[in-house]
Structure 1
Amino acid sequence: MEEKLVKEIGQEGVSRRQVLAGTGALAAGAALSHLGGLVSSASAKDGSTEKWPWPYEKLDPEKTAQLCYEEWYRIFCGGAVISSIFTQLREKVGEPYKAFPIDAYIYLEGGQAGWGTICGAPAGANMVFNLIIGPRISGSTVAHKMCEDVMAWYSQALMPIYMPKNPKVTAELAKTVSNSPLCHISVGKWMKAANKPLVSPERKDRCARVAASTAFKVVEMLNDWKDGKYEQATDFNCGKLHGITGQQNCHECHGSKIPQAPPPPPEEPKKA
């Protein structure tokens, strides 16, 4: 194609370099066109391409949970939560969801690349809240409050909650309360209660159901937000109380090695 263009346009006195530069511009234009939903929606005051909230249409929690359960077996916990919501919004809304790289978030698996830190399910949920509603630096603290709520809910719920249609494991699965959003604690407690190893089909299906349960909860919360009915259910203030980021349940992981925060600086005397 390039040679043909060079031959045809070259007769008009246009150089090969100019032609190739032009074809490159066409390719760049096509790429920008693909991202049009992201670029054209941008008119933030600082000139960035970020504008909040993203358009949201209410979803069916049951349908979302089933999609999430099935997606877990492809991209695991965090990616499945994101996919179950964003793939529906791609159909209902279009951009910016069509351009969002869902599969990149497979790294949320196993508490972030298998490190057993925050479970991918609430981590994916938190990303969804911040992308749809906007981060707190955008002027709204609602997404941040939802993150607090879903972390607390995940920690306190008897999991798994959701029962999928046609489950891959038909045996009744044990249910446990993690008292922590950490994958290591959540999965570890369940494995002990169920007496099943990490690689067992039962453990895998348990985590698929936990992700689906989380996706169900996320859509319920987003639907309430869309209807103007969302109210924060949690007042998470560990940092304010103890002067260090953390959870209210340090002993789930720590013994004598709980990090201690230094005392805060003395308050300046109030002026008369």
Structure 2
Amino acid sequence: MSHNKLSRRELITATGAAAIGAALAQLGGGIVSKAEAKAETNKWPWPYEKLDPAKTAELAYNEWYRVFCGAAVISSVFSQLAEKIGEPYKSFPVDPFIVLEGGMAGWGTICGSVAGANIASNLIIGPRIAGPDCEHGHTIGSNIMQWYSEANLPVYVPKTPKANKEKMVRTTSSSPLCHISVGRWMEAANKPLGSPERKDRCARVAASAAYKLVEDLNAWKDGKYKENVGWVAAKSVGITGQQNCTDCHGSNIPTAPK
């Protein structure tokens, strides 16, 4: 056989080997990139680009109707960063955080909106044990809890509200707990839990929290976030809790509207 010609069998063998080699090269590249992406998630801070708070709030409002409060806040931020930056946001699984709904699996504990904001800030900036460059993740999360407790919520007004189009009742919860926040609003608005008005209210609260979160993250990105943790329960009351439970409990337990 001439050295310049290949038999049909040799040609098929050579072509197959080349195809397999190319496939393995692509697969290998994919494995490396995934490993690199995974490694990057263990380094903080994660890359961050400033976002528009109003756009983020609108995304959170609409996402609430898909994945509810906590996941909506995370999704509103991470979906934009996935487009702007890529990894580690692109492959981050947001939907499992639907568990934050209703104060964690419907148990009325921490409001999912502020829980989602805490998760996002600590993932982006990093946990406080990761070093001095990461301390503001905890600070932003904690101060959003205080802001939530003291603000007259909801603050954000969506472009196309699904309910409460004529009037929006706003309340101050004096607590980051879901059952208190929702309960105070239900009493003031005289609306039941399953009403469109209550759902719209909670969607707006998630949007308000997302707006506040991005404001703080943008300030951090610019090197202008200089706040310290505003309130530390253990130092203030000697336990990781609040001492205003009797506002509702005891002889003054409210009845949910029907």
Q: Deviations over 1:119-175 (max 9, x none)?
A: 000000000110011101101321111122100000011011100001111231211
| Selected match of 1:163 from 137, 145, 157 | 157
SS of match in other structure, 2:90:
helix
Q: Does residue 194 of structure 1 match 2:194? A: no
| 1:185–1:252 Cα contact (<8 Å) kept | no
Distance 2:100 2:48 in 1: 24
Q: Which residue of 1 aligns with 2:142?
A: 148
Which consecutive segments of 4 or more residues in structure 1 shift more than 6 A?
Answer: 26-29
Q: Distance in 2 between matches of 1:199 and 1:163?
A: 21
Larger RCO: 1 or 2 (CA < 8 Å, sep 6+): 2
Letter in 1 for 2:210: A
- Amino acid aligned to 1:155: S
- Shift in Å at residue 246 of structure 1? 1.1
**Backbone CA RMSD of aligned residues:** 2.6
Shift of 1:36: 3.5
Q: In 2, are the aligned partners of 1:238 and 1:248 still within 8 Å (CA)? A: no
Matched residue, 1:85:
77
The percentage of aligned residue pairs carrying the same residue is: 62
Distance 2:200 2:219 in 1: 29
Question: Of the candidates 49, 60, 71, which is equivalent to residue 57 of structure 1?
Answer: 49
Q: Distance in 2 between matches of 1:67 and 1:246?
A: 32
TM-score, normalization by structure 2 = 0.82
Distance in structure 2 (CA, Å) of the matches to 1:81 and 1:28: 35
Is residue 162–residue 210 contact of structure 1 (8 Å, CA) maintained in 2?
yes
Q: 1:31 to 1:191 in 2, by over 3 A?
A: farther
- 228, 246, 250: which is aligned to 1:251? 246
1:148 counterpart letter in structure 2: S
Query: Is the 2:146–2:230 Cα contact (8 Å) retained in structure 1?
Result: no
Runs (5+) with no aligned partner, structure 2: 1-12, 18-22, 252-258
Q: Which runs of 5+ in 1 are unaligned?
A: 1-7, 13-22, 42-48, 257-272
CA deviation after TM superposition for structure 1 residue 28, in Å = 8.7
Q: Does 1:131 align with 2:123?
A: yes
